[in-house]
A and B are shown apart, each in its own frame.
Chain A
Amino acid sequence: MKVICDREKLREGLALANNVIPAKSTKPVVENVCLVATDNALELVGTDMEVSLRYCIDDVKVEDPGTAVIPARVAFDFVRDLSGETITLEVKGNTCTIESGADTCELVTVDPDEFPVVARFDGESTITMQGGNFAKLVDQTAFAAAREPGRYAMHGVLAELEADTLRMIATDGRRLALSETPVDGAGGDGVVQCIVPTRGMQMFVRAISDPLDQIQLQFGETKVGLKTKNAEVFARLIDGEFPRYAAVIPAETTRRMEADRDLLAKKLRLVANVTGDEARAVKLKMSKNKLEIFGQSAGRGEATAHMEVDYKGDSAEIAFNPDYVIDGLKNCTLDTLSLEFTEHTSPGKFQLGEGYVYVVMPITVDV
């Protein structure tokens, strides 16, 4: 194999591949990146067996097509630190030489037959949509997915394709984010549902280099794929049962408050400063067009903040973990958001954008 390509393009490709390729694995061969040179393109392939990437660099000069499997970290580090404009990759025997100007590096290659088979986009894609819209859905939901071990199905984002809508839902059992967007050509009857690991979703988003470009999605039995102009990413689906989320999104509530997003976020942060590390809670007390935010901790003291809001009902209060609320506000696309709830023990529903709701379970105090 012998290829001459642009250094910056190779660096970008290797950087993306290293987001998938594990630094350490029980299966050491996947710590490598697989380079495939065909006619006028160089493809970089990487996987951690859960998520995989094929990244295509075009405008390369392939003098001799072929395949090489080389250590991914070292290759990236070396290419990053080179200063020349172009790079020559050449494989002879079991050595891969990376050369740029006066500088060279020789890496030991691994037998390509040992490298796992990595999925490739073929056949029909399920839907086509703008990359930016897809990324937005992920950004607005993935943060709410579970991180602690033990609840496998919640370690991913549920993607739901129904009629002309793509919906994503993530929850860690205490809060839940749901965001949806219209898509063309989904068409089919029924609902396609799959749980994509959070890491896979994040990789999808990374692969979208230009938000205005169209992407293609393919929903399979065991995996879901995303294709951009240069990249194909597949994520193995989580085989589990996602909680019945629809039941916990309050349909009717008795109280509703509207507040300025930035001001609310600022006041929450202010008060959250005094709350402790364990069981962080801030209390929102609403009375006619007024909101008082109160927080305290045994060790530190207490804080109160006030702001004007739009609230008409009788006085009410509800307490939340401020971190959860702030997480949601960060992704809020509206200048004025609304919070609806019925009781201090029932879930609070934040409307954070069109087709974007965020449900947070309150913190309650017994006795």
Chain B
Amino acid sequence: MSPSSPLTILHVDMDAFYASVEVRDNPSLAGLPVCVGGPASSRGVISAASYEARAFGVHSAMPTAQARRKCPNMVLLPPDFDRYTAVSKQVMDIFRRYTPTVEPLSLDEAFLDVAGSERLFGDAREVAVRVRADILRETGLVASVGVAPTKFLAKLASDLDKPDGLRIIEPDQVREVLDPLPVSKIFGVGPRTARRLNQQGVETIGDLAQLPRAEVQAEYGASGLWIHDLAHGIDLRRVSSQRVEKSHGMERTFPKDVSDFEELGNMLLSFSEEVAFTLRDKGLRGRTVTLKVRYADFRTITRTRTLEFATNLGPRIFSTAKQLLDKVDRGPLRLLGVQVSRLEDVRQPAQGSLFGAAETEDSGEGSRAAWMASSEKLSAATESMDELRRRYGRRTVVPASLLRQLREGDDGRAEPKPEIAETAD
């Protein structure tokens, strides 16, 4: 799609989403600098900041301690993802009234392609107005919307008049809008590329667009072609409602460094179970397990292992992650995470195996490996357990080895959650 394509793409971005949900549900917070995030005492970070807080220079992903220094009066709230997820679902449902082509990017933003909806709802501009009105009326929240011929421009547009903005970039305004913007506004131009471009004398998107294409390619390779296209407003990506998840994982930064590898093993089990549950819930399974470890000195390593067959069973993911954990250097850790990638649909045909896992992989402990071999049994049992989890909550059924932890209240819920991040892309 080029800038001259029809104007059909919307990018909708909820303004300060988590913070806004909190203020909506507790009006006494209105007008205050409200942040959602983990406490500074346990190395929390800010997940969302209200515009009042942003005025002090606070932004998301900033360590809470730093945010507190910038804005001593900020109101810090622990996140409540269940509530945000529910509101998010409400918002996404509103989008789907206007078009089936909705591509959620996260809980609080999505692309919509309204091509084909004109006769029912009017043109993109009109849909944008209606979507914003629906969201405000039904959820009490404010969204910014960008309308443009391409995804990149739509996303740029929603950002231009934030908060509570509606910005349309018409095909003939593309140059006018893009030219003065700094190159760092281009998706794919990070701080390093921006610095390199600046050293070349390229400050604005206009400057970049002026450069010969071959020159940008020679300097930046394939990504050079990509950013050069974007600088011209060319973005061939379609809005896809079937966004394929590539990985799913969970990681946690500890309030205090953890050196006890037995305790780390238990956490790994708990993460593996959670990740496995989510995969099953989404009808996915994956072949590659990645362990992420960050030492006290911030040295971060990842270790990866690919399984013979894709899995979405917690014990299977755990045994692989545990083998990887056993091989990394011992030392106090500040972060531990596990991720499963190379995902596939469970309905995808699966090649059967002649031998049990115990025969085909050197799975460390024999007894565990033998247990894994009975994965068919495990699958059947898992189904019933999932039923319970869906009905009564995820913590209804947990591995026995995690029970003690749970009783002691360290179930990850008693504490604010931002340091536990579910990752998916």
Residues of A within 8 A of B (CB): 150-152, 154, 171, 173-176, 243-244, 248, 278-279, 281, 319, 321, 345, 347, 359, 361-367
Contacts and interface: CB of A to CB of B under 8 A. Distances in A.
B425 interface: no
Interface in B259-312: 308
B359 interface: yes
12 contacts: A152-B362, A154-B360, A171-B355, A173-B308, A174-B354, A176-B354, A278-B344, A347-B354, A363-B351, A363-B352, A364-B352, A367-B347
B350 A151 contact: no
B349 to A, nearest CB: 5
A366 B352 contact: no
B354 to A, nearest CB: 5
Contact of A366 (B346, B360, B362): B346
B199 interface: no
Contact of B348 (A151, A152, A244, A279): A279
The 9 nearest A-B residue pairs measured at CB = A361-B352, A243-B359, A363-B349, A281-B349, A248-B354, A173-B360, A243-B355, A279-B349, A365-B349
A171 B349 CA distance: 21
Interface residues of B, number: 16
A361 B347 contact: no
Contact of A279 (B308, B351, B355, B359): B351
Nearest to A244: B359
A173 B355 CA distance: 6
Contact of B355 (A150, A248, A345, A363): A248
Contacts of B344: 278-279
Q: Secondary structure of the B side of the interface?
A: loop
Contacts of B138: none
A175 B360 CA distance: 13
Nearest to A281: B349
B351 A366 contact: no
A158 to B, nearest CB: 13
Contacts of B351: 174, 279, 321, 361, 363
Contacts of A319: 349
B369 to A, nearest CB: 13
Interface in B328-368: 344, 346-355, 359-362
Contact of A173 (B347, B349, B354): B354
B292 to A, nearest CB: 22
Interface in B348-404: 348-355, 359-362
Contacts of B354: 171, 173-176, 243, 248, 347, 359, 361
A173 B353 contact: yes
A345 B361 CA distance: 22
Nearest to A151: B360
Nearest to B346: A366
Contacts of A176: 354
B349 A361 contact: no
Given A173-B355, A173-B360, A365 B347 contact: yes
Contacts of A174: 351-354
Contact of B360 (A243, A321, A363, A365): A243
B375 to A, nearest CB: 13
B29 to A, nearest CB: 46
Given A243-B355, A244-B359, 4 more contacts: A173-B359, A363-B352, A364-B350, A365-B350
A278 B310 CA distance: 13
A176 B355 CA distance: 11
A171 B355 CA distance: 10
A363 B349 CA distance: 6
A141 B308 CA distance: 22
B80 to A, nearest CB: 33
Nearest to B358: A243
B175 to A, nearest CB: 37
- Of A174, A281, A364, chain B has the most CB atoms within 10 Å of the CB of A174
A362 B346 contact: no
A202 to B, nearest CB: 23
A36 to B, nearest CB: 41
Contacts of B308: 150, 173
A345 B308 CA distance: 18
A266 B360 CA distance: 32
Contacts of A150: 308, 361-362
